[in-house]
Chain A
Amino acid sequence: MEAKKLNLKLKIWRQKNSNSVGSFVDYDVQVSPDASFLEMLDELNNRLEAKNEEPIVFESDCREGICGTCGLVINGHPHGPLPKIATCQLHMRNFRDGETIWVEPFRAKAFPVIKDLMVDRSGFDKILQAGGYISVNTGGAPDANSIPVPKDAASEAFDAAACIGCGACVAACKNASAMLFVSAKISHLGFLPQGQPERYIRVQRMIKVMDELGFGSCTNTYACEAECPKGISVTNIARMNRDYVRAKFTSKVIEV
């Protein structure tokens, strides 16, 4: 009872490595509307491999929208045209027979292309390693219920913590700003009582590294929020800016 297949023309970015120049290459595919976008690429790769051609390099892992590994720019949109899903959750029934689809890597100065559609997002981890945590040693924690957290605060912290670190916000932004990603972590920890002691040091350190890595500044266009698969809100950016300003007035100013 398989549904009728779609005939599509793909224009896919191929690039040998970070030093070479890339270009779009055309591929014709036939695909079931029930397949996912990445399954379509799997099938295409299988076909290429059978002809002893090098398959298209792209990354994915969970294919459930949670690990943040996947990320393609499809027809100009990071993670494709539908809101609030990751690339791996996009299904072919959302495309029309005969359509042409453009597939590119996430582009940003801080995300160099490694090969084809695979990019280096390690900058995100470097930011998190600059204080994006609560300092507590294993075994040193008090009983979990000795730290009550109002349900609303826990829920708001969760909303921010839902970020999957995919980088779509950076790819969507004309300045390649990482503010949405960084502010999500700041809010996650900032909403919780456990996160308070290091709150102001954290924001300063993380922003410093973010700037050093060449991510751009935020000019409030909100393209990031629109493309974020987890619906991370730009209000986090405002919160982060407030914390950053306030940090300057606390006694805990660090050298930045």
Chain B
Amino acid sequence: MTKLESKVPSGHISEKWTNHKFNMKLVNPSNKRKYTIIVVGTGLAGASAAASLGELGYNVLAFTFHDSARRAHSIAAQGGINASKNYQNDGDSTFRLFYDTVKGGDFRAREANVYRLAEVSGNIIDQCVAQGVPFAREYGGLLDNRSFGGAQVSRTFYARGQTGQQLLLGAVSALNRQIDKGTVKLFTRREMLDVVIVDSQAKGIIVRNLVTGEIEKYSAHAVVLATGGYSNVFFLSTNAMNCNATAIWRAHKKGAFFGNPCFTQIHPTCLPLHGESQSKLTLMSESLRNDGRVWVSKKKNDTRHPNDIPEDERDYYLERKYPSFGNLAPRDISSRAAKEVCDEGRGVNGGDAVYLDFSDAIKRLGKKVIEERYGNLFEIYETITGENPYEVPMKIYPAPHYTMGGLWVDYNLMSTVPGLFVIGEANFSDHGANRLGASALMQGLADGYFVIPYTMGDYLATYKPAAVKTDHPEFEKTAKEVKDLTNKLLSIKGKRTVDDLHKQLGRIMWNKVGMARSEQGLKEAIQEIRQLREEFWKNVNIPGSGEDVNQTLERAGRLADYFELGELMAIDALHRNESCGGHFRVEYQYEDGEAKRDDENFSYVAAWEFKDVGNWELHKEPLVFEYVKPSVRSYK
């Protein structure tokens, strides 16, 4: 049985990474090119890892289902990236960023990993600037910062509202340089459908060529998954349409434990649903909450135009409930509060939306200032909704946004399968039960540029994994499994469409495994998901064949995995009898509605081992807090 060994090095927290780097084994430079490493995913995590490993001299094979590395979902990140540079001289430090992240994660992250993340955060900014990332600057030519997501220091670096785009273009340019040099070979339009394990080590992957439909085999000495998060299990989320869990899920079924699957983040400021045909939800930057006031009517089912609802009939519920943080209350708190008032029937027109109103700010600061601050966002809003937010309050509603859960990894970012590494949003990560704004980009790049290049070397030098060719029986066997699955999906020929079933799953997940979860609701969800899964395998219809481009087939395969993952999320949420971060169980709250964490019983990472569909075994990695004492989060 696989044991959970976190492999956290000994010593003081500030010396762990340095010591570890020194103690790790090195691969002789001339031997590096004898090692082949597969990197799946070219988002911030994957592109930075593939480029850095290529620079070191390894032979890297990089894969993405996109037509270009630059399309990865990272491109859509808006707000910024954190780093403890303390350029603003406002008292930031490695320790403070570490402290904020552990606390923000509601004490459900591994201290040593978080410290390392904070420690390398500054190097990320150096690296990006050197690559030509055009961060915002002050008049003196030095880098500008802003504060983000409730932090008390200004440590967020940004490039207008397109930070993710610029960081990804930077990482992809490093990748392109290695492709130019021949150290990295990039395979686009390839979807990884399984990992191949030989003698309990990861030795390669099976992919489907999305243009020809061919099932291809690739072997390597180690495999890195950088395939992003799984918010699309909800159908509607802020994630890009094609984000999915298939790579990590198939790896999970091959032995990689899944950590904290129920830890998901709901973002409070997204555009509400416009109707049944909605395909995804659009995030509006959280920065809007700096000047916008959130409110709903005091009356139920109030269908009056917002500008006709008089001041004393409005409920500025965040300001009322959280006087000191008001409209800036953390993501999970704001999201829950919005759902509460809408469930009471006090949302916009009695539906699922609340107002975000700038009229006071416009009165106070003038339209020009507001335009300077948010003009771009207001335009986006108007393009999508057809309403002018200078005149009519915006409508917003929370939406699934980020998944803190993911494949369990040790300090070296290796999963429970030797030779299978997981980085970026795909791993269970450094964010505990809740991620702070601007910290996902930081983590993706920290993992890719500054952690994996070292820990990969240590793995190769320690394990000396043998080379395996793709004609090995395990490759044949796994490729056959993949083909069989494809054929099975295509042969069902039922009555329901993939999207139709996905929407139905999404509704179960959103209503019962979303923002507020209850024992009863979760038990119902598990039953409903199982039933729907059966319905899927009996009644889905996929037109066309597997022999050329078939986007329905792609989506069906991903949905098949969501049915299993969705169930595990519900099981994990049901077992965690506490509320922490993004996980809110209605049974566990204080009288004022605040989350009630249970450190005595739940201060651990829940790592689930796959036994069979619908059957998992729970393993626990205890979390010990030596440097940040767990305290109750209060934003009153």
Contacts and interface: CB of A to CB of B under 8 A. Distances in A.
B166 A67 contact: no
A62 B278 CA distance: 14
A38 to B, nearest CB: 7
B471 interface: no
A133 B76 contact: no
Given A53-B543, A62-B240, A125-B176, A161 B137 contact: no
Interface stretch (A97-105, A135-143, A172-180, A242-250): A135-143
Interface string A175-195: 000000000000011001011
Contact of A136 (B48, B127, B541): B127
A141 B67 contact: no
Interface in A21-53: 31-36, 38-40, 42-43, 46, 48-50, 52-53
Interface stretch (B11-19, B199-207, B515-523, B544-552): B544-552
Interface string A87-130: 00101010000000000000000000011001011101100111
Interface string B440-480: 00000000011001000000000000000000000000000
B548 A17 contact: yes
A210 to B, nearest CB: 15
A142 B128 CA distance: 11
Interface stretch (A6-14, A150-158, A220-228, A232-240): A150-158
Interface of A: 1-2, 17, 31-36, 38-40, 42-43, 46, 48-50, 52-55, 57, 59-64, 66-69, 85, 89, 91, 93, 114-115, 118, 120-122, 124-125, 128-145, 147-151, 154-155, 157-158, 161-162, 164-165, 188-189, 192, 194-195
Interface centre among A49, A57, A61, A115 (most CB of B within 10 A): A61
A52 B453 CA distance: 48
B395 to A, nearest CB: 12
Interface stretch (B190-198, B365-373, B493-501): B493-501
Given A36-B279, A57-B549, A91-B383, A161 B134 contact: yes
A54 B551 CA distance: 10
A135 B180 CA distance: 11
A232 to B, nearest CB: 14
A154 B240 contact: no
A138 B450 contact: yes
B76 A62 contact: yes
Interface in B249-294: 274-275, 277-280, 282
Contacts of B160: 158
Interface string B132-163: 10111111111100000000000000011010
A141 B136 contact: no
B177 to A, nearest CB: 5
Contacts of B48: 138
A158 B127 contact: no
Interface string B547-565: 0110110000000000000
B240 A144 contact: no
Contacts of B449: 138-139
B179 interface: yes
Given A52-B543, A132-B173, 6 more contacts: A69-B66, A69-B67, A134-B132, A134-B173, A145-B142, A150-B137
B132 A162 contact: no
9 contacts: A46-B497, A52-B493, A68-B70, A122-B67, A125-B70, A132-B176, A133-B131, A133-B177, A162-B165
Interface in B48-81: 48, 51-52, 55, 66-71, 73, 75-76
Nearest to A156: B134
B486 interface: no
A136 to B, nearest CB: 4
A157 B132 contact: yes
Given A57-B549, A69-B66, A132-B176, A1 B349 contact: yes
Contacts of A1: 303, 349
Contact of B549 (A32, A68, A115): A115
Given A150-B141, A157-B132, A138 B51 contact: yes
B211 interface: yes
A35 B129 contact: no
B126 A144 contact: yes
A49 B274 contact: no
A67 B162 CA distance: 11
Interface centre among B48, B128, B160 (most CB of A within 10 A): B160
A122 B138 CA distance: 37
B129 A50 contact: no
A133 B384 CA distance: 34
Contacts of B383: 85, 89, 91
A77 B356 CA distance: 35
B543 A64 contact: no
A142 B173 contact: no
B511 interface: no
Contacts of B453: 138
Nearest to A16: B548
Contacts of A124: 68
Given A91-B383, A132-B176, A50 B277 contact: no
Contacts of B605: none
A2 B278 CA distance: 13
B615 interface: no
B527 interface: no
A144 B137 CA distance: 11
B169 A122 contact: no
A134 B71 contact: no
A196 B87 CA distance: 26
A209 to B, nearest CB: 10
Interface string B28-46: 0000000000000000000
B310 interface: no
A154 B177 contact: no
Interface centre among B67, B137, B162, B495 (most CB of A within 10 A): B67
B166 A158 contact: yes
B123 interface: yes
A49 B559 CA distance: 16
A155 B138 CA distance: 11
Contacts of B123: 139, 141
B196 to A, nearest CB: 27
Contacts of A36: 279, 384
A80 to B, nearest CB: 12
Contacts of A129: 176, 179-180
Interface centre among A34, A38, A150 (most CB of B within 10 A): A34
